[in-house]
Chain A
């Protein structure tokens, strides 16, 4: 499989705080890549560095063979790298359909307004929001807003999607639905996914590979089974040494 994203030795300091330091990894096409770590480990900062919300102080980010280090977000998404936010950012006074149409109009798809509406409707169906299309986005509940966040990003037709804690704050039924959506995005749409998640069961289950961050630095990287058995990861994050067995069901 060919390499989609390559992050090399990326770093960012906020004043004296080393938020992200010398992080390197790559993501292949069609891969689901998990990003985990304790609160404040620099996961969201890493997302912000990748999609250009903030400029890295050091390192290089290459996407589809093109150097995107420090490019503004609107250029990055045009190249096929979309993201969602941990704290949802719906365009409140616009309809759900218009929200997704923005994604279709201005993302990598770069559709004309006329073509963007039907495309947006299709994406709304995927996340089960099609019956809310004409409602104002601000009127959705939190689960609805999270789905909208994904729909907008998917409407851009990205090659790589960054999902920032999409499952947080959802009830078990909603979580199950969302996992199915993520799988479909990869299997049917061929979108590679980089996801931050705190639900260990889910991330171990979904990911092909996982990267663990701690205090802005890489703690480990590898397939889920390896991560779950890594002593450093257990000490820093998982806490319970038996957790790996519980999660992987190999007691």
Chain B
């Protein structure tokens, strides 16, 4: 894998994410990049489902939220270290997705998409009424939880770096899958599931495996993100809007392309930041997202990178 140019591009991006705010010490820039990194994780893992396998998961944010909840519970109630909590949250949400996938991935197309919306809402309702997780009032971190990381000021930087590392891991995971036999099987399922099965692709297992895999890193990042915030609430953790925005990011950058997923997420985050602070658009941020999605689907179904790769096919070899 290290022979591929993209591997080195990922390392360079990680270095830029670490060094630029790290050297300048600019906290505002760090917060903006942190959100960008979280979105890149969400979009590129969603890409494994939508872009690689052809299954639209509207409930992708449930992995992020559930990971956040499990991690926060382990940190606040059981006083685990945030790193162990994050890893365990990733593993347990993956397992949950695997079992769920074996059931709902029998559905195809729009029926699967509808089921995933239902799952997000069901998980949200369950968590809101689950008292160990704080019910509707959520969970709060005490200040002392930051102590093992050298106090709050220090901890925020460390958490930021950790999220950047998980962002790099997401991109490399996408790359590794794309260039594997497993990935080839997924693409075959995306193109024609019945044909893939006849050719020997064990589709039920493949779909569940990728569903579980696509849950792992978002769940880990969920723990870190809500740990950084110091609070987790059902409305934030299972925000269906963010699920849909993740789809917009992916479509914008180009579904199926690794670079596109990351690029779309980053650009969308910057763009959203601009809209939210502009006096004219601050109330219409989602309207703009909706129009954007409509325009992409109508005029640029391959997204930005899909268009670029069509114009410059050689670039695909470098970036994918």
Are B184's CB and A73's CB within 8 A? no
Separation in Å of the A51 CB from the closest CB of chain B?
7
Contact residues, B190-207 vs A (CB, 8 A)? 190-192, 194-203
Most B Cβ at <10 Å: residue of A77, A78, A91, A156: A91
Q: Which residues of B contact A103 (CB under 8 A)?
A: 199-200
Q: Which residues of B contact A51 (CB under 8 A)?
A: 198
Separation in Å of the A248 CB from the closest CB of chain B?
35
Q: Which residues of B contact A90 (CB under 8 A)?
A: 191-192, 195
Chain B 176-195 near chain A by CB (<8 Å), digits 1 or 0 = 00011100110110111011
Are B191's CB and A83's CB within 8 A? no
Separation in Å of the B224 CB from the closest CB of chain A?
34
Chain A 102-138 near chain B by CB (<8 Å), digits 1 or 0 = 1101111010110010000000000000000000000
**A-side interface residues, number (CB < 8 Å):** 30
Number of A-B contacts (CB under 8 A): 76
Assuming the contacts A106-B185, A113-B181, A113-B184, asked whether A74 and B192 have C-beta atoms less than 8 A apart, the reply is no
Chain A to chain B contacts (Cβ below 8 Å), 9 pairs: A72-B197, A74-B202, A83-B198, A90-B192, A91-B191, A101-B184, A103-B200, A106-B202, A153-B199
Q: Which residues of A contact B188 (CB under 8 A)?
A: 91, 94, 102, 106
Complex: A103 Cα to B196 Cα, angstroms: 9
Query: Residue of A at shortest CB range from B191?
Result: A91
Separation in Å of the A150 CB from the closest CB of chain B?
13
Do most interface residues of chain B lie in helix, strand or loop, or is the interface mixed? helix
Interface magnitude class on chain B: 20 to 34
> Does any Cβ of B come within 8 Å of A13's Cβ?
no
Query: Residue of B at shortest CB range from A153?
Result: B199
Q: Which residues of A contact B197 (CB under 8 A)?
A: 72-74
Complex: A26 Cα to B191 Cα, angstroms: 34
Chain A 52-77 near chain B by CB (<8 Å), digits 1 or 0 = 01000000000000000000111001
- Which one of B179, B187, B190, B199 contacts A156 once the chains associate, using CB atoms below 8 Å? B199
Contact residues, B244-282 vs A (CB, 8 A)? none
> Does any Cβ of B come within 8 Å of A6's Cβ?
no
